[in-house]
Amino acid sequence: MIFEIDKNYLIQTTQDMVRINSTNPSLSLTGAGEAEIGAYVAERMGELGLEVSVDEFAPKRMNVIGVLKGTGGGRSLLLNAHLDTVGVEGMTIDPFGGKLRGGRLYGRGAQDMKASLAAMLAAGKALVDANISLKGDLLLTAVADEEFGSLGTEKLVKEFHADAAIVTEPTDMQLCRAHRGFIWFEVETFGRAAHGSRYTEGIDANMRMGRFLAELDQLEQNLLKREAHELAGPPSLHAALLQGGTEISTYAEHCTLKIERRTIPGETVSGVTAELQAIIDRLAEQDSTFRATLKPAFWREPFEISSKAAIARAVESALANRLGRPPIHSGQTFWTDAALISEAGMQTVLLGPVGKGLHSAEEWVELGSVIDLAYVLTETAIQFCG
Ligand SMILES: [Zn+2]
């Protein structure tokens, strides 16, 4: 089917959105939130004739969903982008300038991920302009809070469902099929408080944590030597926060440690917990004064999709058409909302534009790749939704 991407619309929409401050208010008290940009997106969706739902689920926090209804009997596809950005402190360019230079568009959120959201809207517009009616529904979803707690996508997946999804986070136009998850653990060692002179009474919780840390250091090195996931890399961990003792002349009664363990597809919370618990059990066996507890406090699952999944094949073929070569399949070391969408039973891949400077002083997106993205999203919707 023949369609065209309206390039002026795509660039203008990206620029408009970069010029709207949507910094995440959970990251900084001065964060603007998603209400203003959400209203802008709802208006663009309304112009296209989509069924628009605006969900201001907390002050300044907003999800906006636009559905291009299918004629029935086809598979549905959900496209996802987040509306929020990280903060702008320390930026060396105008964060809300949206300046165009050398085929790039500059500003906070240019690549992460307002250009992607504009490409989703441009894909919807291409279908509408060309009078193409899909059999399955196409859902354009713009969500809040990806940069902090993923409140937006958590809410989205309870209310909307599709057969497959594309998360348009920046991937440099590679087909991202896997990423790691993480688990935050709390470890506490217990001692006995005593006057610093009373070595027969005091039990030092900090020293005991030291024994645990020495073993953890070994484990950390071993994890990196383990067989890495082919796309997402090896598992890893770090001892992020450590606190123990109350004053210089008292034996430390408690020591707490917070560990971040990054997981790869196939690893489970229970399996990783058991591995850490085994260290504690071994140390307790060696010394009856060693007492410690371990608990997983918060986690996000890793994500993976087979290259044979229908959505992966549809994106791969559309991407190959557009790029004129087979696309690169990749993985990421960090976590994304794709895991939540995938857990909710939608087959999910990630695909987004080329650029640089995510979360840094100078962020830009390459406009050629944003146009490519809009073509690929449109083509995939036609192939997948029928
Ligand atoms: Zn992002």
The pLDDT tens digits for 297-327 are 999 999 999 999 999 999 999 999 999 999 9
| Rounded distance between C-alpha atoms, residue 155 and residue 174, angstroms | 28
What lies within 8 Å, CB to CB, of 268 at 6+ separation is: none
Counting residues of the chain whose pLDDT is more than 90, the rounded percentage is 98
Residue 1 has pLDDT above 80, yes or no: no
User: 334 C-alpha vs ligand 1 centroid, how far in Å?
Assistant: 11
| Rounded distance between C-alpha atoms, residue 222 and residue 352, angstroms | 33
- Provide the pLDDT for residue 29: 87
User: 353 C-alpha vs ligand 1 centroid, how far in Å?
Assistant: 11
User: 170 C-alpha vs ligand 1 centroid, how far in Å?
Assistant: 7
Per residue, what are the HEC states of 321-361? HHHCCCCCEEEECCCCCHHHHHHCCCEEEECCCCEECCCCC
Per residue, what are the HEC states of 146-188? CCCCCHHHHHHHHHCCCCEEEECCCCCCCEEEEECEEEEEEEE
| Rounded distance between C-alpha atoms, residue 18 and residue 25, angstroms | 17
User: 166 C-alpha vs ligand 1 centroid, how far in Å?
Assistant: 13
What are the backbone dihedrals phi and psi of residue 230, each rounded to the nearest 5 degrees, phi first? -60, -30
DSSP 132: P
User: 292 C-alpha vs ligand 1 centroid, how far in Å?
Assistant: 38
User: 224 C-alpha vs ligand 1 centroid, how far in Å?
Assistant: 26
User: 179 C-alpha vs ligand 1 centroid, how far in Å?
Assistant: 14
- CB burial readout 323-360, b (16+ within 10 A) else e: eeeebebbbbeebbbbbbbbebebbbbbbbbbbebbee
Q: In 3D, which of 246, 244, 251 has the Cα closest to residue 198?
A: 251
Label the pairing between strands 138-143 and 175-179.
unpaired
User: 337 C-alpha vs ligand 1 centroid, how far in Å?
Assistant: 9
Confidence class of residue 174 from pLDDT cuts 50, 70 and 90?
A: very high
Torsion sign over Cα 373, 142, 359, 272: negative
Beta-bridge mates of residue 350: 167, 176
- Provide the pLDDT for residue 358: 87
Q: In 3D, which of 179, 135, 177, 137 has the Cα closest to residue 160?
A: 137
Mean pLDDT across the stretch 210-226?
A: 97
Token pair recorded at residue 42: 């709802």
User: 298 C-alpha vs ligand 1 centroid, how far in Å?
Assistant: 21
User: 235 C-alpha vs ligand 1 centroid, how far in Å?
Assistant: 22
User: 188 C-alpha vs ligand 1 centroid, how far in Å?
Assistant: 34
Token pair recorded at residue 304: 């993976």
User: 113 C-alpha vs ligand 1 centroid, how far in Å?
Assistant: 6
Mean pLDDT across the stretch 7-20?
A: 98
- Provide the pLDDT for residue 28: 87
User: 336 C-alpha vs ligand 1 centroid, how far in Å?
Assistant: 8
Q: What is the mean pLDDT of the chain?
A: 97
- Provide the pLDDT for residue 142: 98
**What count of other Cβ atoms lies within 10 Å of the Cβ of residue 159?**
11
Mean pLDDT across the stretch 155-179?
A: 98
User: 143 C-alpha vs ligand 1 centroid, how far in Å?
Assistant: 11
Token pair recorded at residue 50: 């989509």
Mean pLDDT across the stretch 2-9?
A: 97
Residue 290 has pLDDT above 90, yes or no: yes
User: 301 C-alpha vs ligand 1 centroid, how far in Å?
Assistant: 17
Strands, E assignment, the chain:
51-58, 61-68, 77-82, 100-101, 104-106, 138-143, 164-167, 175-179, 181-190, 236-244, 254-263, 291-300, 303-304, 329-332, 347-350, 355-356, 364-366
Q: In this structure, which residues have their CB less than 5 angstroms from ion ligand 1?
A: 112-113, 169
**What count of other Cβ atoms lies within 10 Å of the Cβ of residue 375?**
21
| Rounded distance between C-alpha atoms, residue 343 and residue 356, angstroms | 29
SS3 content of the chain, % helix, strand, coil (to 5): 35, 25, 40
DSSP 76: -
User: 85 C-alpha vs ligand 1 centroid, how far in Å?
Assistant: 7
**What pLDDT digit, counting tens, does each position of 60-117 carry?**
999 999 999 999 999 999 999 999 999 999 999 999 999 999 999 999 999 999 999 9
| Rounded distance between C-alpha atoms, residue 169 and residue 167, angstroms | 6
Whole-model pTM: value is 0.93
